[in-house]
Structure 1
Amino acid sequence: MKRFDKIVLGSIFVLSLLVALLWGFGDRQPVSVQQFSWEGKKISVTDRFFSLSLSQAIDPEFVAANFSIDPPLPGNLSWAGKDFFYTLNELPIYGQEYQLKLAAPDTATANDETLEILTSDIAIEPFLARFQSRDRAFAYIGTEGDDRGRLILFNLTQQEKSILTPADLTVLDFETYPEGDRLLFAAIPTAALNTNLDDLQLYTVTTGLNTTTTAEAEAGIGKIDLVLDADEYANGKFQLAKNGQRIVVQRVNKEDPRDRSLWVIEGSAEPRGLGIPADEFLLSPDAEVIAVSQGGQLSIVPLGRNSGAIQAKEKFTRLLAFSPDNQQQIALQETDGISSLYVLNENQEEGDRVLLRTLTPIIDCRYEPRYGQTLYCLKIDEAESLGQVVEEPFLSAIDLETGDEIPLLALPNYRDVRLSVAADGLALLFDQVVTANPTPNSDLFTENGLAVEGGRVWLLTLPELERDVEIQAVPPESLMPGFRPRWMP
């Protein structure tokens, strides 16, 4: 055999041996995480899933057994090839830092059921990442000293207070944009002479929250833009859609009070009148319809230019709440001194059903956002004191399945209590306001035109409303002087 032939045969033997070794032992390169969609991110309750991309496809059971989040975030793991997806079953808790870990633990700590998976031939490069939920924060209107009439942001997580508006604007109400980066507020420009409620204008102001860098957050606090003036029309109640896409506001022509209607503002487009007056109104979460109450009767008005006819629901007085998923509404019927709550379903096959009937007037209701099985309602009881009938507001929780009601808290003797449930469903804010009839010197007003003499913001930690468990009353915590508190989303 020639020398060249020997070299060729030797090379073939060596290559065959290498192929056999690779076939027998496989690629021993450890699996690694190539991308984690939430790494370094601040998540909100609208963030429902994240993804993990691995360097190669591996047994999903191995990933499930070696995957953990601390503190726990319950959810379900799914996969497609080397990409894994984790969908949350519960809302994240605000003000938390979470740690995600994907690494094979010590086999000594594994139980019998997972030992076979953990001792498999798969090698994985340990992966550790952190992400945060949004800070727990709220805004309110100050009632004392230099804060009076100014919009204030308080970050509970950081224990930081920021005054957002200048002293020459007296703020009467506000709403939050979905990212929490801006607020929409109504204010009177007090720098002008002889100003009154007819001079109420709408503005936006930046909060500095949920920005990507500290520099952006600091530079972005307190930037104000005018949204709607009061030159020809007086502005009244307003509402911002939860998706931030539409604003609805009551307007009255200053020259002709008969010209009274709801107006819509969509993005940067010019405001347009709907030609529909309303005593009360409520926007749906997707901003596609508005529930209008006029003369004690309810109508559902589509806001698209070609989106159907108005639906009259004359047996109801007004709509109190839309469910977060927009599949249900809570309607109020008031007849002969009886207040009835109805659950209206988008699915016509289920039909409408009575949730609660009571002799106690119902002022407002809010869906509990965490599980969507509870309704928080503000009701007004009446008691006699010193020969006079006194209104006594109280907060109760109503089970949406059974209609069972649990009283939670007696509220201050003030009908216009503002309730705000935190986005993660763990706490509720309310105010206690001292009012008087307005005078020429009054500078701060409630929605009903009463002068605000003083106010206080309170926080109530909400209980776990599990069935067959006795609810323990938790006293509210007094936070600071102010009124109209509202959680940031």
Structure 2
Amino acid sequence: MKKQFIDLYAIDRAAIVTILTLSLVTILLILGGWFCWGDRCLIETGPKVREFSWRDRIVNAKDTAFVLKFDRPMSRESVENNLKITIPDQLDLKDPLPGKISWAGRRMAYTLDFPAPYGNSYRVELQRATEKFQGSDRPGKRLQPFTAEFKTPDRVFAYIGLEGKERGRLILYNFTQQEKIPLTPANLVITEFEPYPDGKSILFGAADRQVTKDGLLEQQLYRVTTGLYGDGAEIAGQIDLVLANEEYQILEFDLSADGNMLVVQRVNREDPQDAGLWVIRDNNSPVALNNPPGGVFLIAPDNQTIASTQGEGVALLSPQPDAEPLGFFAQFGMVLDFTPDGASAVMVDFNRNNPDLLYTRSLYLVNNQGREEKIFDTKGSILNCQFDAQGDRLYCLLTNLIEDVDYVEQPYIAVIDLDSKKVVPLTTLPQYQDTHLSLSPDTVGLIFDQTIVDPELTEENILRTDSGEAIATGTIWLLIPPASLEEMETAPQLEELPFIGFNPKWLP
């Protein structure tokens, strides 16, 4: 009887050991290559992708590279030869995202040549790549097949409506979904707006239609949700007041690139000498910078510098109260835009102190070390310029002076290659009425407006151009610029969009 008990105990113990061993083997098979050191693995399974930085993400123009992290050393050549990026519903489109590959150990980075075009889903696939251990000549095991997807934001822009019930309201149009949404109520008349960098909301200035017809001086600042890219909790059209105007009239405003700082130009209603720039951070109360009075201003992409016209020059200001100016460019009268990295800006020299260039204007590229590089001279006007996502091209609104007519300027839109300084006209406009340009974040589309003014217009005269003329109506155009330098001489695609409005702006 005692021997039978011992045999049963031994059988139970053997069964438990067997179960534990099988469980351990199963876990190791699941974990695969995680138990590898040098050129040997405890369980010999194929290598796999441990991490993909863009998996199931919405990536925008600021996302320039993705990373693949492998669980063991790989044959780099086999990875590079077998990596495949496609658009699932456009499989006939070859190499939709060209780029460059770099390695750091088991991490591979793929840096795009240009931003991923918006409105698409992308698939990344990797098969038939093999492992490769240093100093080992044995054939490497094949990678476990890898597939992942990511998306880019929808193609969306906003504009101020000019027709019927849309007049004066902020309108959102989603090209990808073919959907138009009025974001603001009829009682608010929009004067200006700036999208937040995440595209989830828009900052705008507006005046109450029933209170005043002097919109600019009576505007308040608001924030409205777009209903895009959220978790579904926010719907489009939810409005919050950001800054009221009881004590100060709000003249101009700008939003920082990170969306965390708002700079406002204000003047005290009771004391016009109390005027200047105020900074609002994280929804706190405005803080006065106490800087000398200035004109047009622009926040640099570093969120630490404000370029402001002062007198006949451009001052670089700190967003900290009572700080000394960071620099002053006496030569220039306008700053138009900064490169995406903030390292350079384009500025306009009116050549007031250059007898050889009287009655001309010059466009310069100025870097953060103070180095100035002339791009071109013109007898016409330089009205607006915007950098593309790479910072190597400018899209500008310019004019040509027609010599045989008394001071008539013909406006046109041009692209400028900064390496060659080549200026290529894209389209000519019939007349200039404070035309607004907006280049899409992925540099695929340029939208602009053409307004028609009416001096006799008295109703709704709160809607005015920057020069103060009453806007009667306006059209919005889409221009598809050339994709490469070689194609710059070809005629661009130009299409009038079916919207009556002005001041269109792409969302980030």
Q: Report the TM-score range of the alignment, normalised by the length of the smaller protein.
A: 0.7 to 0.9
Structure 2 CA distance for aligned equivalents of residues 306 and 82 of structure 1: 50
Of 190-199 and 45-54, the range deviating more from structure 2: 190-199
AA of the residue aligned to 2:503: R
The CA deviation at 1:485 is 0.3
Q: Which residue in the other structure is 1:397 paired with?
A: 415
Preserved CA contact (<8 Å) 1:393 1:415: no
Moved more, 185-194 or 423-432: 185-194
1:186 aligns with 2:205: yes
Instruction: Give the whole-Å Cα distance in 1 for the aligned partners of 2:99 and 2:212.
Output: 58
- The correspondence for 1:338, drawn from 341, 360, 363, is 360
The aligned amino acid for 1:347 is: Q
CA distance in 2, matches of 1:24, 1:150: 66
Q: Secondary structure at the match of 1:482?
A: strand
Instruction: Sort the Cα spacing of 1:58 and 1:196 in 2 relative to 1 into closer, same or farther, 3 A.
Output: closer
Cα distance change, pair 355–67 in 1 and its aligned pair in 2 (3 A)? same
Q: Does 2:461 match 1:445?
A: no
Give the match for residue 221 of structure 1: 236
Moved more, 434-443 or 390-399: 434-443
1:406 matched residue in structure 2: 424
For the 8 Å contact 1:296–1:318, the answer to whether it is kept is: no
- In structure 1, the gaps of 5 or more residues are 1-22, 108-118
**Partner of residue 192, structure 2:** 173
**1:152-182 per-position Cα deviation (integer Å, ceiling 9, x unaligned):** 1111111111111111111111011111111
* Stretch deviating more after TM superposition (135-144 or 376-385): 376-385
Question: Could you tell me how far apart the structure 2 residues matched to 1:470 and 1:192 are?
Answer: 50
Query: Per-residue deviation at 1:450?
Result: 2.2
Q: Residue 454 of structure 1: CA displacement?
A: 0.7
- 1:74 maps to which residue? 98
Say which of 114, 121, 131 aligns to 1:90.
114
Change in CA separation of 1:46 and 1:307 when aligned onto 2, cut-off 3 Å: farther
> Shift of the alpha carbon at 1:390?
4.1
Distance 1:332 1:54, change over 3 A: same
Equivalent residues of 1:293, 1:317 under 8 A apart:
yes
- 8 Å CA contact 1:363–1:378 kept in 2: the answer is yes
Residue type matched to 1:381 in 2?
N
Supply the distance in 2 between the matched residues of 1:281 and 1:178 (Cα, whole angstroms): 19
Contact 1:39 1:129 in 2 (8 A): yes
Cα distance in structure 2, aligned partners of 1:41 and 1:343 = 35
Report if the CA contact (8 A) 1:380-1:415 is conserved.
no
SS in 2 for 1:42: coil
Letter in 2 for 1:202: L
Report the Cα distance in structure 1 between the residues aligned to 2:113 and 2:263, rounded to whole angstroms.
33
For residues 49 and 168 of structure 2, the distance between their equivalents in structure 1, rounded to whole angstroms, comes to 51
- State how far apart, in whole Å, the 1-side matches of 2:334 and 2:107 are: 48
CA displacement at 1:195 relative to structure 2: 6.4
Report whether the alignment pairs 1:357 with 2:377. Answer: yes
Q: 3-state SS of the aligned residue for 2:217?
A: helix
The residue number in structure 2 matching 1:236 is 251
1:395 Cα shift? 1.1
Moved more, 226-235 or 84-93: 84-93
Query: C-alpha displacement at 1:205, in angstroms?
Result: 0.6
2:198 aligns to what SS in structure 1?
A: coil
Q: Letter of the 1:177 partner, please give it.
A: Y
Corresponding residue of 1:52? 68
| Alignment-derived partner of residue 327 in structure 1 | 343
Question: After superposition, where does 1:195-206 map in structure 2 within 5 Å?
Answer: 196-206=215-225
CA shift for structure 1 position 382 = 4.1
Secondary structure of the corresponding residue to residue 485 of structure 2: coil
Following superposition, the deviation at residue 151 of structure 1 comes to 0.7
The code of the aligned residue for 2:301 comes to P
Aligned residues with identical type, % of pairs: 37
Supply the distance in 1 between the matched residues of 2:441 and 2:379 (Cα, whole angstroms): 31
Query: Aligned equivalents of 2:157 and 2:478: distance in 1?
Result: 11
The residue that corresponds to 1:40 in the other structure is 56
Number of equivalences:
447
**Shift in CA distance, 193/45, structure 1 to aligned 2, threshold 3 Å:** closer
- Give the 3-state SS of the residue equivalent to 1:282 in structure 2: strand
Q: Which residues of 2 match residues 471-486 of structure 1 at below 5 A?
A: 471-479=489-497, 480-486=499-505
Q: Is the 8 A contact 1:431 1:484 kept in 2?
A: yes
Report the equivalent of 1:20: none
Tell me which amino acid in the other structure corresponds to 1:98: Y
> Match of 1:417?
435
1:271 partner amino acid? P
Pick from 104, 117, 121 the counterpart of residue 128 of structure 2.
Answer: 104
**What residue is the counterpart of 2:26 in the other structure?**
none
The structure-2 alpha-carbon separation of the partners of 1:361 and 1:82, relative to structure 1 and needing over 3 Å to count, comes to closer
SS at match of 2:350: strand
Residues 382-393 of structure 1: pairs in structure 2 closer than 5 A: 382-383=401-402, 390-393=408-411
Question: In structure 2, which of residues 271, 288, 309 is the aligned counterpart of residue 273 of structure 1?
Answer: 288
Do 2:482 and 2:488's aligned partners in 1 also have CA atoms closer than 8 Å? no
Q: CA deviation at 1:127?
A: 1.6
Q: Are the counterparts in 1 of residues 122 and 150 from structure 2 also a CA contact under 8 Å?
A: yes
Q: Is the partner of 2:294 in helix, strand or coil?
A: coil
- What are the within-5 Å matches in structure 2 for residues 274-313 of structure 1? 274-275=289-290, 276-305=292-321, 308-313=324-329
Which shifted more, 73-82 or 160-169? 73-82
The Cα offsets for residues 342-370 of structure 1, whole Å up to 9 and x where unpaired, read as 2212235xx3122211111111111122x
Deviations 1:319-346 (A, max 9, x none): 1221111111111111321101122122
Equivalent residue number for residue 447 of structure 2: 429
**Contact 1:181-1:210 within 8 A present in 2 as well:** yes
- In 1: Cα distance, 2:70 partner to 2:387 partner: 39
Contact map agreement 1:328 1:344 (CA 8 A) in 2: yes
Deviates more, 1:301-310 or 1:330-339: 301-310
Q: In structure 2, how many angstroms separate the alpha carbons of the residues matched to 1:196 and 1:352?
A: 39
Output the amino acid matched with 1:65.
N
Could you say what secondary structure the match of 1:476 adopts? strand
In 2, Cα distance between equivalents of 1:389 and 1:340:
19
Does the 8 Å contact 2:289/2:321 carry over to 1? no
Give the Cα–Cα distance (whole angstroms) in 1 for the partners of residues 323 and 55 of structure 2: 41
* TM-fit CA distance, 1:27: 4.4
Cα shift at 1:193: 6.3
Letter in 2 for 1:357: D
Q: 1:206 to 1:81 in 2, by over 3 A?
A: same
Residues 192 and 64 of structure 1: CA distance in aligned 2, closer, same or farther (over 3 Å):
same
* Aligned mates of 1:476, 1:194 — CA distance in 2: 36
Does the CA-based 8 Å contact 2:316-2:326 persist in structure 1?
yes
Q: Deviations over 1:234-284 (max 9, x none)?
A: 111221122212222221222223333222222222112233322221221
Per the alignment, do residues 26 and 290 of structure 1 end up closer, same or farther by CA in structure 2, a change over 3 Å counting?
A: closer
- Segment drifting more, 248-257 vs 180-189: 248-257
TM-score by length of 2: 0.81
Measured at CA, do residues 184 and 353 of structure 1 come closer, stay the same or move farther in structure 2, by a change above 3 Å? Answer: same
- AA paired with 1:63? V
Q: TM-score, normalised by structure 1?
A: 0.84
Once the two structures are TM-superposed, the CA of residue 389 in structure 1 deviates from its matched residue by 5.1
**5+ long unaligned stretches in structure 2:** 1-38, 88-94, 131-137, 352-357
